[in-house]
Structure 1
Amino acid sequence: MFETRLATAADAELIGQQRNMMFIDAGQADEVLTQKVFAKFVPWVRPKLEDGSYVGWLVSKDGVVVAGAGMLLMDFPPHWMDPEPVRAYLLNFYVNPEFRGHGLAYRLLKIAVAEARRRGIKVISLHASKFGKPLYERNGFKATNEMFLVE
């Protein structure tokens, strides 16, 4: 049986570890780069978990965390899609490889979307990996015209 709970500031390192594995599994970064990211991510996310601007969920089986996800509540200018000045950005969706195929990512997505809706947030965004994209598309997420400049 899987149990889901809210993440706390004490989970910052665990969330950082899952984030690293997410990037490695997706082929987006190697272990050297993810360790640099981890060193910056943990002190970034801990106060956000404390002040509620990052909401995280962790799924456990037999007391061992096997999946997780997060939602960053971002200050955003009022917009034609939503006049309220907040957006939800979903991130850090990760399921340990041996627990994939049990619907855990779907469970976490439903929880995150429900929480955003409970807060009155109309716009939810994310950046999907090739692995996650089908899940998000099945649940109503659409591609946008967002562009990046990366140096």
Structure 2
Amino acid sequence: MPGSESIESWDYTLYIPNDLRAVTVCRRTLRLILTMHGLIGLVDTAELLATELVSNAVRHTKGPAALRVRRAPEGVVWIGAWDTDPAPPDPPRPLEQVGEAEEEGRGLGLVTACADYWGWRPSARFGDQGKYVWCELVAA
């Protein structure tokens, strides 16, 4: 049937140490994944969102972390950062309340502003309790 092509679904997980340099590794890996799957139009926004999620996971916890990126058959790209802290993230601050010179406090505000949906859920990896903070982008 014309126009009913199925969308390729896939799922990648990159496990990282608690090291701020891992944020760059995640960002570059995400760029490669999206480019190789023909989703270059999502790269800039996805990189920004993944950078915020992964840097929060690395900065605010002491254990390992992970970046997970997947595409659902419906076309949604899901980006999640797992960390070892089971506590929910702080509520996002509206971007207009964050000063331009402030280095912290805007991460989830950016996620809220740029993603189609976002949220968090408890999860376990490496035998530890933790959480995923995630967001979704609809691929056009």
| TM superposition score normalised by structure 2 | 0.36
| TM superposition score normalised by structure 1 | 0.34
Structure whose residues are more often helix by fraction: 1
Structure whose residues are more often strand by fraction: 2
